[in-house]
Amino acid sequence: DAKTTQPTSMDCAEGRAANLPCNHSTISGNEYVYWYRQIHSQGPQYIIHGLKNNETNEMASLIITEDRKSSTLILPHATLRDTAVYYCIVRVDYNTDKLIFGTGTRLQVFP
Amino acid sequence: DVKVTQSSRYLVKRTGEKVFLECVQDMDHENMFWYRQDPGLGLRLIYFSYDVKMKEKGDIPEGYSVSREKKERFSLILESASTNQTSMYLCASSSPGGNQPQHFGDGTRLSIL
């Protein structure tokens, strides 16, 4: 019952920008968009989150469309260590604060 | 940086044993969570806690219990381990407030033989 849709996999050349799209057409007005990534055999790593404005931190940028129905995570200069599964999440349960992870996008960065 | 530390990366136990998984966070977070992650099923919430000595059931609490005696520590207990509890267990913590991100530990891969 994830509220997001992401491509199954993407490739990116090392040093280039990786742009990972996410659709969340049923997002509610007070729901944030979160991005996490999970490298094999490790726990999910928080990347960035936002409500409606674009956000940037030391790891990535988050671009949210004006209607908030989709967003894009941008890794400006991908490295081999960015190879991971990237999850776009819309928090759906404020009673438990649980995160619902979908299947994510498997990003492969190649030399 | 937020640090969530889980006591073991890999653990092997036998059916019927009582198993303790420990989680400690160093960011003074009020909220703590236990999830399990299984292929094809994603992350499922087992228990969570918003304060010391407080606990709430998540989606799959059966066969588990938790303890939160100190703010920084949240323990998951498998009362009598069974093979269907073989999984990756993930602990997370966050500040209060509906938009605060959860930060995860590296997980404990538990095998029940």
Percent of chain B surpassing pLDDT 70: 97
- Helix spans in chain A (H): none
At B65, list the tokens. 């219990």
Specify the pLDDT at position A27. Answer: 87
- Residues linked to residue A56 through DSSP beta bridges, in sequence order: A61
pLDDT at A92: 60
> Do A18 and A106 form a contact (C-beta atoms < 8 A)?
no
pLDDT at B10 over 60: yes
In angstroms, the Cα distances linking A52 to A67, B33, B76 are 9, 27, 36
Structure tokens at B99: 């938009």
At residue A69, the pLDDT reads 93
Task: Indicate left, alpha or beta for B28 from its phi (over 0: left) and psi (-120 to 50: alpha).
Answer: left
Contact flag B90-A43 (C-beta cutoff 8 Å): yes
Chain A residues closer than 8 Å to B4 by CB: 43
pLDDT tier at A2, thresholds 50, 70, 90: low
Q: Provide the token pair at B48.
A: 């969570």
Contacts of B1 (CB under 8 A, 6+ apart): none
Q: CA dist B67 to A43, B47, B78, Å?
A: 21, 10, 11
Q: What span, in angstroms and rounded, lies between the C-alpha atoms of B101 and B99?
A: 6
Nearest CA to CA, how far is A9 from chain B (Å)? 16
Residue of B nearest to A35 (CA): B101
pLDDT over threshold 90, residue A31: no
CB contact under 8 A, B103 and A46: yes
Q: How many CA atoms lie within 13 A of B58 on its CB side?
A: 25
In this predicted structure, the answer to whether residue A91 has a pLDDT above a threshold of 80 is: no
Q: Is the pLDDT of residue A84 over 70?
A: yes
Instruction: Give the integer Cα–Cα distance in Å for B45 and B33.
Output: 7
Burial class (CB within 10 angstroms; exposed 0-12, middle 13-18, buried 19+) of A8: exposed
pLDDT at B41 over 70: yes
